[in-house]
Structure 1
């Protein structure tokens, strides 16, 4: 299984749509990111771990929340950056799984690469997520137009016969 670590705040500060949104609501930007990543992970069949820094939050403990089988959210503990959390996890998983790390931090990209993970810049990943969202929309539109939804498809056969008799009797 492909595992993707996402440096949450790095991505929020890199993606054009989230940059604007964070100025109004940081929580809203986090939720939008998670929604986009959820759709992506389900469609692409991968596990995504979104890591948010809490290193400046006094007495914060590490918090993990599994949204579903495809996406998990981690808030690091006080004094730990998202980069250090990701490095530690990649070191554990790096050579056993296909691991990707999404960050635009150049130093982090170099460190991750040395530990066996594939690095993806935040903007490259943004384009990949947008492409996947477009494929999902196109597939939904295609399914909507290809499957005809007739009344007869959803009504019991006995009722259809009675309706046909009423129609013919006029």
Structure 2
């Protein structure tokens, strides 16, 4: 793994576990095993590093959403929670920590959320046919986001409950 990849992976783990604000540059350099000079050379700034972390997280998360049914969306989320942990959405937590006032982070978060919404709408259209259903897609997004947040204290049970609710909504839409 090259220095930048190692730095991004280390930063993601620390930001996810401790938060963006609470993770200082000393902690990052120590965990990554690099000097502060090397960190700044490869990351530029803490905000730029967070944007790189969010980009990597987005890439991995969107790969999980390469599915063809609403049920599979929630199966993918269950797998994510098991593999990555259940601390809520790193994108929304980072946006909350920065108060939405850091433009680069806000842009990364909004782009990710738009991509997730778009992908879910595509899956809904494929799953129920007849051109999709925008209201249903929004409902599935809310269930998905809610399950992500509730998994922080309920684990995969939250995803299972959202999956069951989505199944009812999809069955109704197919009629």
Tell me the TM-score normalised to structure 2 length: 0.26
- Which structure is higher in strand share? 1
- Which structure is higher in helix share? 2
**Structure exhibiting the larger radius of gyration computed from Cα positions:** 1
Tell me the TM-score normalised to structure 1 length: 0.27
